[in-house]
Amino acid sequence: MKKVLLGLLFLCLGPFLLHAQDPKLRVIVFGAHPDDCDFGVGGVAALYAAGGHAVKFVSLTNGDKGHQQMGGGELARRRSLEAKEAGRRIGVEYEVMDNHDGELFPTLENRLEVIRRIREWKADVVISHRTNTYHPDHRYTGILVQDAAYLVIVPNILSSVPPLEKNPLFLYLEDGFQRPNPFRPDVVIDISPVVDKKVALLDAHVSQVYEWLPWTERDTSVPAGAEERKKWLKARRTPEGRISAEARKSLEKWYGPSQAAKVTHVESFEICEYGRKLSDEEIRRFFPMLPKN
């Protein structure tokens, strides 16, 4: 009889116990424009979403300047629809804020809006740009997120929204800029299994990946057919084997040399010292797609 009762108790409490052992994470990513999150963390976001974790992309501007033929409200509406479709394709929420492209500043008002979104999302992980990239909107997005770090736990800042109990883990997206200091790949994630999902995500941003970016690069090789475009996009924006020596070393740390040698596509992140301080073991909990020790 006792065994029967214990069995029934496990059936009732088992799902809750398993959930307690494997809590779902809440991740928020801030990009300057309605495709920046997708380029920087699209693969990892797909892995999080597939694991049942909650992911939100936020674009701090509406992207209303990023096109060679259209602009203003028409372009902003188009890019918002593209962003929503991109989010739908991998199961993440996508918000586009109504700040003008190229006119973002790290004002107090914008800082409070970033704090609000981090708190309302109850974020465990916050990801954004570094503050020394080529575009002012990228730099100021990075500053706004840096300025929100720590303040998200201060009750008297934006007191209308309850503060977080713990400061999230703050991370930077990868970039190639060297001064004043180069990007440091602290955590490198294998996205090889979901690279096609990332391509599908980017493919939703038609105005950017097939029109605006090729125009800025004077690239006239964009194919006409939908499937041919995806193949072209994959080769252009997610080329196989583009892993730096520094990223390869970090990849080996997290996956081991034998498994790392098989990886073809990665996304890399630098840990921001303003956020939560974590051990390597704790980092693995925040990146559940990493292999267990």
Position 293 scores a pLDDT of 72
Position 20 scores a pLDDT of 46
Full-model pTM: 0.91
Position 79 scores a pLDDT of 98
- pLDDT per residue over 36-60, tens digit each? 999 999 999 999 999 999 999 999 9
Residue 170 has, within 13 A of its CA and on its CB side, a CA count of 24
Topology at the third CATH level for domain 25-286: Rossmann fold (3.40.50)
Position 292 scores a pLDDT of 86
Residues in the chain: 293
Contacts with 268 (C-beta within 8 Å, 6 or more apart), sequence order: 174, 183, 185, 187, 188, 189, 247, 250
**Nearest partner of 31 among 154, 117, 157, judged by Cα:** 117
Answer left, alpha or beta for residue 102, where phi above 0 means left and psi between -120 and 50 means alpha: left
The long-range contacts involving 237-241, CB below 8 angstroms and separated by at least 24 positions, are: 237/39, 237/199, 237/202, 237/209, 238/195, 238/198, 238/199, 238/202, 238/265, 240/264, 240/265
Q: Give the pLDDT of the chain (293 residues) as one tens digit per residue.
A: 555 444 554 445 444 444 445 689 999 999 999 999 999 999 999 999 999 999 999 999 999 999 999 999 999 999 999 999 999 999 999 999 999 999 999 999 999 999 999 999 999 999 999 999 999 999 999 999 999 999 999 999 999 999 999 999 999 999 999 999 999 999 999 999 999 999 999 999 999 999 999 999 999 999 999 999 999 999 999 999 899 999 999 999 999 999 999 999 999 999 999 999 999 999 999 999 999 87
